[in-house]
Amino acid sequence: MSSSSDITALQTPPSCTADFCLIPLGTPTASVSKEVAEVQRLLKKSGLKYSMHSAGTTVEGSWDKVMKVIGQCHTMLHQNGVVRIQSDIRIGTRTDKKQGFQDKVDAVKRLLEADGKLDGEE
Amino acid sequence: MSSSSDITALQTPPSCTADFCLIPLGTPTASVSKEVAEVQRLLKKSGLKYSMHSAGTTVEGSWDKVMKVIGQCHTMLHQNGVVRIQSDIRIGTRTDKKQGFQDKVDAVKRLLEADGKLDGEE
Amino acid sequence: MSSSSDITALQTPPSCTADFCLIPLGTPTASVSKEVAEVQRLLKKSGLKYSMHSAGTTVEGSWDKVMKVIGQCHTMLHQNGVVRIQSDIRIGTRTDKKQGFQDKVDAVKRLLEADGKLDGEE
Amino acid sequence: MSSSSDITALQTPPSCTADFCLIPLGTPTASVSKEVAEVQRLLKKSGLKYSMHSAGTTVEGSWDKVMKVIGQCHTMLHQNGVVRIQSDIRIGTRTDKKQGFQDKVDAVKRLLEADGKLDGEE
């Protein structure tokens, strides 16, 4: 009767937004820009929508595709000689509406712009 | 020539350790224990090795299986009426050795126990 | 009129639960057990309540004390020669009730034990 | 003899880059744009350098100032009626060089632009 009794019938979410920050361990230098650039190149090939910022990379798509490409980033860096990788992933799913990552920023900016207009009126 | 030129040939890692903390949004109460219990029940059915602590749940297995079950946790809670879910996932992979999550704790405890022995000798 | 107009009057929360995972970058080896052991020793000296698990360490106390000790962990490891450190911190505060990190685990376990009793009745 | 024997003598890092994602729990709606806008207003008043993106906000400054303002964000939202708040914070410190968050993005972009030039040569 419970929806969770047959786990094999449970699909993963059809869409999600994930923001991940990948950290190589045990590398000769403390710089990670080379690895982050490799990740960007891989994301470009994936065909998924993504956006890099200073603390990570945001990527959109189905749960399976997004998680697969992050896993492929790990494998690629391992193949390049990095023996250990730790990623932090913030991932969100919602059923109430479809919202791309740019929509989220826009929603906040609209609220902040309203402040500006009020300020300007004085 | 580059190992990353053919993205479809890149596999996800054969093993990983993930620690995730799942947060339901827009729920009537601030309590999440009901949702966390549902997650534990689903993990039990998955057959993967897992361990709950106060700030999340650690789970071990192949990248694909681990990520699939976390995605299924999202879907299950959505089916139970939660419209939005945000998870934080710390995920690590390594090629230098196979280390279960209990091994990691044990390695630190051995170092700390050595302190204790030195303290006791005084 | 707004409560946030005078930022200097805003206190940080009197209590919080933080779970942090500290990662040293650019170290000779991929192992972090030595660094994690150092962190545990520092936490012990801090007098705060804490608990290590395989994916991090949970610590309880006032926002300022908790954040100070995590910062001190960074400084200590820098003094030991680690040039770059990245931490992931999950931190929660609530005003509806005082709940220690053990209480959170207990609340979920009570729900799961109820399952067991039902199973046993069959 | 150990540098960590007197914990009170340990300072927190003089500079850091933190990226945080704040999630209110038990709110009537699944939308968080109102809360995120409040956070942006508070950051503006703090005088610290910050930048919002779709998955969080990055802020730079001394460890103490950065952590204080994130704590003040929690307190402000609690005062506005949010009973429980969970934040994920990625925080980095380094002693090898001073690097602002824009510098990090620029370093990766330079590497990626070199790709483009090579592509263009064909």
Instruction: Decide if pLDDT at C94 tops 90.
Output: yes
Q: Would you call C89 an interface residue with chain A, using a CB distance cutoff of 8 Å?
A: no
**Does residue A36 sit at the C interface (CB-CB below 8 Å)?**
no
Judge whether D119 is closer than 8 Å to chain A, CB to CB.
no
Q: Does D37 touch chain A (CB under 8 A)?
A: yes
Query: What's phi and psi for C51, nearest 5 deg?
Result: -150, 125
Two tokens, residue D112 = 């990626």
* Reported pTM: 0.92
Tokens of A62: 């189905």
Handedness of CA A57, A58, A61, A63 (dihedral sign): positive
Dihedral pair phi/psi, residue B5, rounded to 5°: -70, -35
What whole-number distance in Å separates Cα of residue A73 and Cα of residue C23?
A: 19
pLDDT value, residue A59:
97
Contacts of D29 (CB under 8 A, 6+ apart): B26
How much is the ipTM here? 0.90
**Other Cβ atoms within 10 Å of A65 Cβ, number:** 17
Contact between C19 and C90 (Cβ < 8 Å): yes
Asked if B40 has any chain C CB less than 8 Å from its own CB, the reply is yes
Domain A12-114 in this protein, CATH class:
alpha beta
D53:A105 CB<8 A: yes
- Please write the tens of the pLDDT for every residue from C4-14: 467 888 999 99
Q: What value does the mean pLDDT take over residues B10-17? A: 97
In this predicted structure, what is the pLDDT of residue D5?
Answer: 62
- Whether chain A has a CB inside 8 Å of the CB on B7: the answer is yes
Alpha-carbon distance C42 to C59, whole Å? 12
- What stretches of chain D adopt beta strand conformation (E)? 16-25, 49-53, 56-61, 84-94
Residue closest to B9 by CA, chosen among A60, A72, A49, A80: A72
- Would you say D46 and C7 are in contact if contact means Cβ atoms under 8 Å apart? yes
For residue B102, how far is the Cα from the chain centroid? 13
User: Using one digit for the tens of pLDDT, what is the confidence trace for B54-89?
Assistant: 999 999 999 999 999 999 999 999 999 999 999 999
Q: Where are the domains of chain D?
A: 12-114
Q: How far apart are CA B50 and CA A66, in angstroms?
A: 23
pLDDT band at C120 (very low <50, low <70, confident <90, very high): very low
- CB nearest A25 (choices: C23, C83, C88): C23
pLDDT at C97 over 90: no
What's residue D15's pLDDT? 97
| Neighboring chain A residues of C26 at a CB cutoff of 8 Å | 27-31
Using N-to-C axis directions, what is the helix angle for D33-46 and A101-121, rounded to 10°?
A: 60
List the single residue in A56, A94, A111 with the smallest CB-CB distance to D55: A56
Mutation for D interface: A54, A73, A88, A104, most D CBs within 10 A = A54
Average pLDDT for residues D81-109, to the nearest whole number? 92
Residue whose tokens read 């906000």 = D57
pLDDT in tens, D22-79: 999 999 888 999 999 999 999 999 999 999 999 999 999 999 999 999 999 999 999 9
B84 has a chain C CB within 8 A of its CB: no
Q: B4 pLDDT exceeds 50?
A: no
- Substitution target in B86, B87, B90, B111 with the highest count of D β-carbons within 10 Å is B86
Which chains contact D through at least 3 pairs of Cβ atoms less than 8 Å apart? A, B, C
- Tell me which of A63-77, B20-34, C59-73 is least confident: B20-34
Split at pLDDT 50, 70, 90, the class of D7 is: confident
Q: What is the mean pLDDT of residues A11-15?
A: 97
